[in-house]
Amino acid sequence: MMLRTLLLLPLLLLSSYLLAQEPFEWLSCGSPSHKSAWLKNYQANPSQYAPLLAAKSNSTQYIGLTIHQVFKDDSTGSIPIDQILQSVCQLNTDFAATGIQFYVEPPISKIYDTDFYVHDSVSQGGQKMLQYNRDSSLNVYFVASAAAGNCGYNLPYAGVAMSNSCLTGHTFAHELGHALGLPHTFIGWEGGQSWNGSPQTSFSQPAPTQVTINYTDFKDQPYPDTLIIDTLLVEKVPRTGPNANCGIAADGFCDTPADYLAYRWVCNSTDASSTIYQLDPDSVAFLSDGWYIMSYALSSCQVGFSQEQIQAMNAFLLTERGHWIGQPSSLDSFSNLSTLLSPSQNAIIPAEYPLFQWNATAGATHYLFQLYKEPMGGGQVIEEVIVADTFFQSNRILSPRPNMFPYSWRVMPLTYNYFCAAYGPTQQFNTNSPTALIDLEMPTLSDFQLGPNPLPQGQPLQILWTLGGEKMGQWRIFNAQGQLIWEQSAQLQAGAGRYQLQLPTDWASGSYFLQFRSKTGEMQGKLFIIK
């Protein structure tokens, strides 16, 4: 198919760029940045947006995030949920001064797609996002070590991709700055002086008056087989006076200084400035300022957003992305931690389907439960789940481990708006050797099976047996304290038989004992009910 080229001067579209962070902060950029048509209009007509911003000035807008945890097809490769939640905590800290905060729209999505987990280009990532997106929220995908070779990117028509290896520092805030309409502080320098890769002017020479950039993949919708080029003015150092062009050049914000450094750079520890001098088109020398999250300074330099950037993000949210705005179910924060109850420290428990219990934390609506093997490290997490209760029944059989490296478990209280609480103290335990789930004390009985076991709450229990003769008796169920809580008369036929029990639907998750008792003997087994 013929490749079409559109030359736009200066049609500017929504920002999206790739930011590298620790430990992969030196990753190069994989796509160019640009300034949106909306941002150009906003900066040219500030009075049009002033009433909207004034009405919003002292309030906080909440943006709902749909979190997608992407795995390989075989369910491996992702990172623990707590690392994702901690990145949302850092995100809200970075946005604390903006009047914008983020919460998670439950449930967290799990996607098993190797081609998405590791993808080669942002356009491929965009197609996958369109396949999995949920409506009315900002979709964020956590993928492999480098999203299309980078630490993250934002596609205006699809969503945000974040690398699992780049969740520390300010990467997430940088990408969501793009999602809210902000370009880089160094906009235009990503491709040198020309989109086709011609050499960039040496910083020892005056900068050109304009640069061209390729932002084909970063429009509000995809344009297959189309190349879209834009031309941008290069920002000069003066903020006022006849030589100033900060309101129309580069990012268009006059409270973010000129910046030409489109690669990761180390700042001066005293004032966060760059170590490289640059010359603007009028030969005025300057240093870049690494304070700004939308710059490419390393994370240790970055702090926040400028006031003009903050106003632009709020205006963009209210006028262009109002469908992202929502209200979290709880605005509470808390400092108390959950107290673990059982298994207690150094307990030895049965291997089959252990039950974990802890005390409630005031203000928490959910809890992140994590079970892992000691010593804690990569690949050691066994089970991780967010629950609304103060207990969790595992459906696993945990084989005994060496005494030096037992099992450990811990709980983090949270709400879907507050992820900054810490785990409480960890408790360790070990298990006995797994025992048979069925105890047979009935002559002529050669087979007895329960299924499914664990039994999802509300589903009927299927029982299979093989008997040498017909039996009359009662099905009886006892709770974990040994109390009889349910019974029903039954007649078991000779030979191979099947019976279906419809149990009460309001029973709590946990361990139960099922017994069939007759005049000639009994059979019993452990039954586990889960939600």
- Residue 9, beta-bridge partner list: none
Where are the domains positioned within the chain? 42-180, 184-304, 339-432, 448-529
**Would you state the torsion angle of the CA atoms of residues 74, 20, 67, 291, taken in this order, to the nearest 10 degrees?**
160
Backbone angles phi, psi at 332, to 5 degrees: -75, 145
Interatomic CA distance for residues 446 and 464, integer angstroms = 11
Distance, in Å, from the CA atom of 375 to the CA atom of 353, rounded to the nearest integer, reads 22
Res 475: pLDDT: 85
114-152 confidence digits (pLDDT tens): 999 999 888 899 999 999 999 999 999 999 966 777 889
CATH 2.60.40.1930 fits domain 448-529: yes
Asked, colleague to colleague, whether 339-432 and 448-529 share their fold, the answer is yes
> Which residues sit opposite 438 in a β-bridge?
525
Residues of the chain short of pLDDT 50, as ranges, are 1-23, 28-32, 195, 436-445
pLDDT tens digits for range 244-276: 999 999 999 999 999 999 888 999 989 999 999
C-beta of residue 390 within 8 angstroms of C-beta of residue 358: yes
For 176, the 3-state DSSP assignment is helix
pLDDT for the residue numbered 65: 98
Q: How many CA atoms lie within 13 A of 87 on its CB side?
A: 26
The CATH number assigned to the domain with range 42-180 reads: 3.40.390.10
505-519 pLDDT, tens digit per residue, is: 888 888 788 888 777
What pLDDT is attached to residue 12? 30
Q: Determine the topology of domain 339-432 in CATH.
A: Immunoglobulin-like (2.60.40)
In order, the DSSP letters of 10-54 are S-----------TTSTTPPP-S-----HHHHHHHH-HHHHHHHHH
Edge-to-edge strands, sheet with 340-342: 340-342, 355-358, 391-393
